[in-house]
Structure 1
Amino acid sequence: MTIKVGDKIPSATLKVKTEGGIEDLSTDTLFGGKTVVLFAVPGAFTPTCSVKHLPGFVAHSADIKGKGVDTIACLSVNDAFVMDAWGKDQQADGKVLMLADGNGELTGKLGLEMDGSAFGLGTRSQRYAMVVKDGTVAALHVEEPGAFEVSSAEAVLKAL
């Protein structure tokens, strides 16, 4: 079942790379008492994700945070080392928190996985963006396969 507006974000453990190494970050900590824009991509360093999706959130991070958003986070079914390298490549430091859902735990619990095995990707996340307020989904924009419209930084800005 796919998560919907009004649902609570399920408990899951994500990974982030910090100066101290790889650290766990629970969804309860990430979303509790905060307004978070979470967007997900099928894969780090992939074309649409690297040319449009992440760069849009980096470019508009101040505008998004100016609307009362505490954290902008990018999620992918990749490992924390890849997400860290991609964030550095995209100059996301301090603007977008790069989250690794390496085993697809949160992605599966959200019901937003996709089968990318035809492209050699295995199970990945669908492309989406959501606004989460104190752990509850306030807005959810899931893309149709192959599309990039409703989950862009510009679309999220309009929804805030």
Structure 2
Amino acid sequence: MAGLKADDAFPEGVSFLYIPPTGDLDLKVCGMPIKYDASKGMSCHPPSLSQTKTGTLCVREIRLANRIPLEFQSKKVVLVAVPGAFTPTCQEQHVTSYLANLEQFKAKGVDNIIFIAMNDPFVMSAWGKANGVKDESILFMTDTDAGFSKSIGWESGGRTMRYAIIIDHGKVTYADVDTERGSIAKSGAKGVLVKL
């Protein structure tokens, strides 16, 4: 497959891994990675989102999780791929452009902004915390082995390329990739906002 384009249905069977944000920005507070089914279905939070710290260890209460819908079929989502968490362009330009414009995205009806990279869920969670993200308005997820990015042809050297996809209730309304090194013209917040 050579990328996605407007009017395509978002592909079936796409899932990512992530650690749900808890509101705690302490990098030593860990969580459990869970599957986020981007295409359809339901997902469960881990047994508890309540955590306490004991040094660098986490202790979780055990209680039943509520099933929550996590499907792109029922949301307007901006999916943003970057080559790597904490890398210079990704940190200094890409993620900060979305943080600075978050209210504009919400005003245009965006339910979630999701950053994906091939980094593991713990690194992606730490990246969100390092940027002060405490809730699910911006999620940081793992594209395991850049599998989704490979499937749409937007992977290079084992890493996700820099791209953005707008999905409105399961339908792709915008998809483009930045091919120029360090450019966020097509996948940065300003370039995506004008497509909403």
Q: Is the structural similarity TM-score above 0.5?
A: yes
The TM-score normalised by the length of structure 2 is 0.73
Indicate whether 1:40 and 2:81 are aligned: yes
Alignment of 1:2-151 (within 5 A): 2-10=3-11, 11-18=13-20, 21-28=32-39, 29-94=70-135, 95-115=137-157, 123-146=158-181, 147-151=183-187
- Provide Cα deviations, 1:117-158, integer angstroms capped at 9, x if missing partner: xxxxxx011101121111121011210130221211111112
SS, match of residue 103 in structure 1: helix
- Please say if residues 107 and 125 of structure 1, whose CA atoms lie closer than 8 Å, have aligned partners that are also in contact: yes
For the Cα contact (< 8 Å) 1:80–1:102, is it kept in 2?
Answer: no
Structure possessing the higher radius of gyration over alpha carbons? 2
Alpha-carbon separation, structure 2, partners of 1:33 and 1:50 = 29
Quote the offset at 1:73 in angstroms.
0.7
Opposite residue 5 of structure 1, the aligned amino acid is: A
Please give the per-residue CA displacement for 1:86-128, whole angstroms capped at 9, x wherever unaligned: 111112332311111122221122221112xxxxxxx011101
* Aligned equivalent of 1:118: none
| Segments ≥4 residues shifted beyond 4 Å | none
**Residue ranges of structure 2 left out of the alignment (5+ in a row):** 23-30, 40-69
Q: Measure, in 2, the Cα distance between the counterparts of 1:13 and 1:140.
A: 18
Pairwise CA RMSD = 1.4
Which consecutive unaligned segments of at least 5 residues does structure 1 have? 116-122
Cα distance in 1 for partners of 2:143, 2:186 equals: 22
Flag the structure with higher helix content. Answer: 1
Q: TM-score, normalised by structure 1?
A: 0.89
- Greater mean alpha carbon deviation, residues 84-93 or residues 47-56: 84-93
1:1-31 deviations in whole A, cap 9, x for unaligned? 2222222222222101135511111112331
Percent identical among aligned pairs is 35
